[in-house]
Amino acid sequence: MKKIFLVFLGLLLLFIAYNIGTRSSSSGGKFSFSSKDKVAVLTIQDVILDSDKYLESLNKIRKNNSVKAIVVRINSPGGAVGPSQEIYSELENIKDKFPIVASMGAVAASGGYYIACAADTIYANPGTITGSIGVIAQFLSYKDLLNWAKIDVEVIKSGKFKDVGSPFRTMNEEDKEYFQQLIDNVYDQFKTTVAVTRDLNKDELDSIADGKVFSGEQAQNLNLIDELGNLNDAIAFAAEQGGIEGDPELIHYPEKKSALQELLSTKLNFTSRISNFPISNSFGLFYIVDIIH
């Protein structure tokens, strides 16, 4: 009886290990028991306000010796400048170890396009919305509302620009000039990145780097992307570049969320949609396109 129990327990453990390995390698980004060469699929989705989960995923990919190529799947209108630059930089840092292919979904614009520029090859669908090369900052002003409500706000500051962008006062011309210089500098960084990675003349970028969006087909004609194709096309090309024969095994990042995390994430995303723009609620500069209301 004891022997039967031990055999049953052994089989049960093998079954659990197999299922954990299968689920992890196909969707969770966790350890896989399979030794087959893999393509890591890093999905960047929605407005980019934080880079932590993507940097953590890339660190795990770097340490996974079974990964031979990376596909960066982008479905994002962009987001904050800092996080977008961090993700781009980390992809640049690991390019010497993996071939990187970007795959654009419905929208891969502004910060989403900036990140795609780190890839060796960029795929997009003919109707993908991309481009929107530019920088934006938006500020709310409650001054008239406060005046109507007869509420005074006293501000004590160390310098004349310390409260620039405050919702409690309107900007003067000097404030606007200060912010315009800041935006122009970050905009120049964006154009430099595109010019270098896409082998384009920076001066000639002005005609297409004015915030306009393009279809995937238009973007290919402008040399902003390389190939027209879907996610499967990008995966197949990445596997080929990584020296993988046959159909590659996929390992997805970031790690899959729990049902509760998914619910909370969906709720937060919905709140972001109905408030139209994260820019309205947080200070900063953004690589973002506002095309969906």
The CATH number for 195's domain is 3.90.226.10
Residue 63 a catalytic site member: no
Which of the pair, 4 or 84, is modelled with greater confidence?
84
Quick one: pLDDT band at residue 160, thresholds 50, 70, 90?
confident
Chain mean pLDDT for the chain = 83
Residue 158 lies in a domain: no
- Distances from the Cα of 54 to the Cαs of 39, 49, 87, 106, 129, in angstroms? 16, 11, 7, 20, 22
* pTM exceeds cut of 0.75: yes
Residue 179 lies in a domain: no
What is the spatial distance between Cα 184 and Cα 164, in angstroms, rounded to a whole number?
17
Among 24, 110, 132, 166, the active-site one is 110
In the 8-state DSSP scheme, what is residue 205?
A: G
Which of the pair, 135 or 32, is modelled with greater confidence?
135
Give percent of the chain with pLDDT exceeding 70.
Answer: 77
What is the spatial distance between Cα 209 and Cα 223, in angstroms, rounded to a whole number?
13
**Domains of the chain: total:** 1
Give percent of the chain with pLDDT exceeding 90.
Answer: 58
What is the spatial distance between Cα 231 and Cα 1, in angstroms, rounded to a whole number?
52
Is cis: bond before 254, omega within 30 of 0?
A: yes
- Compute the half-sphere exposure of residue 22: CA atoms within 13 Å on the CB side of its CA: 6
Tell me the mean pLDDT in the region 209-235.
97
Which of the pair, 203 or 84, is modelled with greater confidence?
84
Residue 176 lies in a domain: no
Residue 13 lies in a domain: no
Residue 83 lies in a domain: yes
Tell me the mean pLDDT in the region 199-228.
94
Quote the domain boundaries for residue 198: 35-136+189-288
Q: What is the pLDDT of residue 183?
A: 94
What is the spatial distance between Cα 52 and Cα 59, in angstroms, rounded to a whole number?
11
Residue 117 lies in a domain: yes
pLDDT at 223 over 90: yes
Q: What is the pLDDT of residue 276?
A: 45
Q: What is the pLDDT of residue 290?
A: 66
Which of the pair, 227 or 175, is modelled with greater confidence?
227
pLDDT tens digits, 278-293: 444 455 788 888 654 3
pLDDT at 3 over 60: no
pLDDT tens digits, 29-74: 544 455 689 999 999 999 999 999 999 999 999 999 999 999 999 9
Residue 215 lies in a domain: yes
Which of the pair, 222 or 260, is modelled with greater confidence?
222
Beta-carbon contacts of 269 under 8 Å, excluding residues fewer than 6 positions away, are 46
Q: What is the pLDDT of residue 4?
A: 58
Quick one: pLDDT band at residue 168, thresholds 50, 70, 90?
confident
Q: What is the pLDDT of residue 102?
A: 98
Among 162, 202, 212, 257, the active-site one is 162
Q: What is the pLDDT of residue 267?
A: 53
Residue 67 lies in a domain: yes
Q: What is the pLDDT of residue 204?
A: 82
Q: What is the pLDDT of residue 1?
A: 57
Region of poorest pLDDT, from 54-68, 95-109, 210-224, 269-283: 269-283
Q: What is the pLDDT of residue 269?
A: 53
Q: What is the pLDDT of residue 184?
A: 95
CB 83 within 8 A of CB 53: no
Residue 97 a catalytic site member: no
The torsion angle over the Cα atoms of residues 44, 82, 70 and 64, rounded to 10 degrees, is -110
Tell me the mean pLDDT in the region 196-213.
92
Q: What is the pLDDT of residue 165?
A: 75
